[in-house]
Amino acid sequence: MPSPDSNATSSRHALAGMLILLGLVQQILAFAGIVLLPHGVGYALWLATLLLWRDIPRRTRWQAGALVFIGLSLLLIASWRYSAPVDWPAVTSGNTYVVAMLVGVSFIALIGNRSGSSSPLGQPITGRRGSAGTWLGVHLLGTILNLSTVFMIGDRLARRAPLTTPQLLALNRGLSSAALWSPFFASMGVVMTLAPEMEYSRILAVGLPLALLSGALTTLELSRRFDLTEVAGFSLSPRSLLMPVAMAALVMLFHFQLTPTLGIVSIITFLLPAVALASNLPSGPRWTLRRVRQHTLIRLPAMRGEIALFLSAGLLTLGLSTLVAAATGSEWTLFARFGPAQAVISFLVIVVSAVIGLHPIIGVSVLASTLDLVGHEQTLFAFTALASWAVGTSVGPLSGINLSLQGRYGISGYRMMRHNLGYATVLSGLVIVAILALDAWL
């Protein structure tokens, strides 16, 4: 007979799961211009996080709590010391669009046969070839599907055994390096806003070869540091690529034809749950409802770690950006001109700040606010920002990719940082060479 404590825990988890689902539904409705409650997505997700707080692993709980404390402290300092306007009802909204996407992506688990299991995997590829396949699969599909590709491929590999460090590093670097050139990445969207006159063709000509060098570096380094004999990799076979490629095609259809005003992240947020529901409906509404209910009550509360980390990191970002904007104002210019020396200095500072724990978007945004870019400087700035994003997110313990890997697969973001320091150092050297070459080309 279940104890009262277990019943209370089950009820708390059920309520939290329904709140997480409510947050996702509100985010999807907002895409259609329907807002049930201003900032309601953040309220639902934060309330669910509070309900699940005691169940979050201690290390993650301490980290998330520290981020919340620092973020709120920075907002208070900005408000009291610099009289900065702070929209307090909106402070829960940081990173909610990313969390909503993660929740939407979780519905991939519902795409399977009637028993709820997925089709068996074929014979895995191992060794250097397997690691190269994982990097390439994440990189190619991640250029379109972004963070959701990591879960698609990572969960597929995790069906055999818990993911190992080389597998996690291949996932990390395959996705982060796509920021160097992918036109569908959040990094490119930010950069296009900050430098609207940049020449994308030149960014592509420099960024794509650099990304391929990143893949070669990853493959060689992992084979040197780890015994990859028994480490399974992602096979780029038609069978294993079927679902990711089909999803990528659907995303492109919506992005270019059906919902051109929505970004890639927004499309993924509603499209993956819709596909999951559609794949279950042939088995009947009752079957579909039962699977959704099970997913809501079990899988969604199990995402508490990654949800807490993303929400708290969003609060930290809001606090820091508010304080920096209030303290620096808009009159000061960092550099009189933005040349190769300034680009290299900016790149290194943003990467170092990422190692400390700041998301590269903070450094990129602050840098752009202190520059007056003209002509070809916009292209040089754009590449510098994208490169710092690619390197910074791979090594930064609080980047989206590392928070996701920590929340989903249990590896510490700081452990990922330590494993990526050598990679980031070598790639930074290549980036500096690329900055000098791009400046000479411009």
Question: Contact at 8 Å (CB) between 442 and 202?
Answer: yes
Amino acid sitting at position 161? A
Cβ-based neighbours of 326, under 8 Å, separated by 6 or more: 78, 81, 82, 83, 84
For residue 314, which amino acid is it? G
Q: HEC profile for 335-384?
A: CCCCCHHHHHHHHHHHHHHHHHCCCHHHHHHHHHHCCCCCCCHHHHHHHH
What's 257's DSSP letter?
I
- Under 8 Å between Cβ of 258 and 72: no
What is the 8-class DSSP label of residue 15?
H
In angstroms, the Cα distances linking 31 to 42, 115, 147, 330 are 15, 33, 20, 32
pLDDT tens, per residue, the chain with 442 residues: 455 556 667 889 999 999 999 999 999 999 888 988 999 999 999 999 999 999 888 877 887 898 899 989 999 999 998 888 889 999 999 888 878 988 988 887 787 644 444 444 445 688 899 999 999 999 988 887 777 788 888 988 988 889 999 999 999 999 999 999 987 776 777 787 678 888 888 999 999 999 999 999 999 999 999 998 889 898 877 766 677 678 778 888 888 888 888 877 788 889 889 988 998 999 889 999 999 999 999 889 988 887 888 788 788 878 877 887 788 765 556 787 899 999 999 999 999 989 987 778 777 877 876 777 888 999 999 999 999 999 999 999 888 789 889 878 888 888 999 999 999 999 999 999 999 999 999 7
The pTM for the full model equals 0.72
Distances (CA, A) of 105 to 220, 278, 380: 31, 15, 34
